[in-house]
């Protein structure tokens, strides 16, 4: 059974032109506000270009610029420490970082030393942007140019040193020289970069000759160890011998002084006794006899006094123990 529904007319409500104008102005205002307000983080500086021309820099915080493409913003991380890797690339950073070596990185790392030996050098350059204007506008490809400068400087410094210096004792000095020369080039080209560190991560000979180089390094290390041990024993034994010699000399000098003083005392005593003896010989002789007897008898435990006219000792007198003693 067919049922007819009443026909309904839908009419679009009329919007007042004033309301449309307000909506358009609001949207336009939001677009202007979004394009003119921006935030600069603490580690960055904003560089403002007006129609492609540099006009000013913006400090960290909330800032404003002219919208609708009149002024453009470029953020430059001036407080961030950046780095370039040479001879290798970090594939996955972390506690156990993963590195990769490609034919391109191998070309960077293979170098010739001053004594015509080949070494593989891997290093890192850490730097900061100190002048945003020079960094953005002095050179077209700053990072590529800086990488080429770093490679050229290291090749030059490696070529001025022997393979032993590069691999063993001269690594820190060579790295410091390369850093200074790289900073000099950056200042000459005015690329606005401050080189913080140049660190050699690994310096090795090529794989075919690596075992021989390792043996040489072990021999040099053993040589240094022996030299250090010898110096340690030298520094221990020499002061000890000097001390013993000084002690012996001082003991001899003391003994000599003691003997001289004793001899002088004995001579003075003899002189004084002789002087008294010359004045009264009998008295002095008797006094010396009594003093000697007094000194001797005090050391004898048992004393037996006999008459000086006695010819022999009676058999009853037991002198065996005293004689033995």
Residue range of the domain that includes 143 = 82-207
Is-above-0.75 flag for pTM? no
Which pLDDT score is estimated for 185?
94
Tell me, yes or no, whether 189 and 94 share the same domain: yes
Q: What angle do CA 298, 301, 304 make, to 5 degrees?
A: 95
Assign 144 a pLDDT band (cuts: 50, 70, 90): very high
Query: What residues have CB less than 8 Å from 191, skipping those under 6 apart?
Result: 134, 135, 138, 139, 142, 145, 146
Alpha helices in 138-209 (DSSP H): 142-159, 163-164, 171-189
User: Does residue 319 lie in a domain region?
Assistant: no
CATH number at residue 150: 3.30.479.30
In angstroms, the Cα distances linking 205 to 23, 100, 259, 265 are: 72, 19, 73, 82
Q: Quick one: pLDDT at residue 187?
A: 94
Residues 63 and 24 in one domain: yes
pLDDT in tens, 192-238: 999 999 999 888 887 777 777 778 778 878 898 999 999 998 888 88
- In this structure, the number of other CB atoms found within 10 A of the CB of residue 85 comes to 16
Domain annotation covers residue 306: no
Whether residue 44 is predicted with pLDDT greater than 70 in this model: the reply is: yes
Cα 253 to Cα 147: distance, rounded to the nearest angstrom: 75
Residue 64 sits in the same domain as residue 89: no
Q: List all residues 6 or more positions away from 118 whose beta carbon is below 8 Å from its beta carbon.
A: 110, 111, 112, 205, 206
Residues 100 and 21 occupy one common structural domain: no
* Alpha carbons 184 and 186: distance in angstroms, whole number: 5
For the four alpha carbons of 297, 298, 302 and 305, in that order, the dihedral sign comes to: positive
- Indicate whether 279 and 198 sit together in one domain: no
Clarify whether residues 167 and 269 are in a common domain.
no
Give the whole-angstrom CA distance, residue 110 versus residue 155: 9
Q: Looking at the domain assignment, is residue 268 inside a domain?
A: yes
Based on the fold, state whether residues 159 and 241 are members of the same structural domain: no
Q: What is the dihedral of CA 307, 313, 317, 320, to 10 degrees?
A: 110
Length of the chain: 325
Separation of alpha carbons 39 and 63, rounded Å: 6
* 272 or 182: which leads in pLDDT: 182
Angle between helices 142-159 and 171-189 (to 10 degrees): 140
Predicted local distance difference test score (pLDDT) of residue 282? 80
Average confidence (pLDDT) over 279-289: 79
Instruction: Check residue 1 and give its pLDDT.
Output: 46
**Taking a C-beta distance cutoff of 8 angstroms, is the pair 36, 64 a contact?**
yes
Using CB atoms within 10 A of its CB, is residue 22 exposed (0-12), middle (13-18) or buried (19+)? exposed
Pairing verdict, β 110-112 and 118-129? antiparallel
Question: Total structural domains in the chain?
Answer: 3
């Amino acid at each position: 059974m067919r049922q007819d529904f009443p026909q309904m007319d839908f009419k679009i409500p009329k919007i007042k032109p004033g309301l449309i104008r307000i909506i358009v102005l609001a949207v336009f205002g939001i677009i202007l506000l979004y394009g003119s307000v921006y935030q600069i983080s603490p580690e960055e500086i904003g560089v403002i270009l007006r129609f492609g021309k540099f006009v000013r820099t913006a400090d960290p915080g909330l800032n404003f610029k002219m919208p609708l493409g009149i002024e453009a913003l470029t953020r430059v991380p001036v407080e961030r420490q950046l780095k370039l890797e040479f001879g290798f690339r970090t594939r996955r950073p972390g506690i156990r970082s993963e590195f990769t070596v490609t034919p391109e990185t191998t070309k960077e790392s293979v170098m010739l030393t001053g004594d015509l030996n080949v070494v593989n050098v891997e290093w890192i350059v850490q730097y900061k942007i100190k002048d945003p204007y020079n960094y953005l506008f002095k050179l077209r490809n700053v990072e590529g140019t800086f990488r080429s400068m770093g490679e050229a400087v290291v090749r030059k410094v490696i070529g001025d040193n022997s393979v032993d210096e590069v691999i063993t004792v001269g690594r820190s000095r060579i790295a410091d020289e390369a850093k200074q020369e790289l900073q000099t080039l950056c200042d000459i080209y005015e690329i606005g970069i401050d080189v913080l560190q140049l660190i050699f991560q690994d310096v090795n000979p090529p794989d075919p000759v690596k075992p021989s180089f390792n043996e040489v390094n072990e021999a040099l290390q053993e040589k240094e160890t022996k030299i250090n041990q010898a110096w340690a024993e030298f520094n221990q034994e020499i002061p000890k011998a000097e001390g013993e010699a000084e002690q012996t000399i001082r003991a001899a000098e003391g003994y000599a002084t003691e003997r001289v003083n004793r001899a002088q005392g004995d001579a003075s005593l003899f002189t004084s006794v002789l002087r008294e003896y010359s004045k009264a010989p009998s008295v002095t002789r008797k006094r010396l006899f009594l003093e000697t007897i007094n000194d001797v008898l005090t050391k004898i435990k048992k004393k037996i006094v006999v008459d000086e006219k006695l010819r022999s000792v009676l058999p009853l007198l037991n002198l065996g123990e005293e004689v033995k003693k």
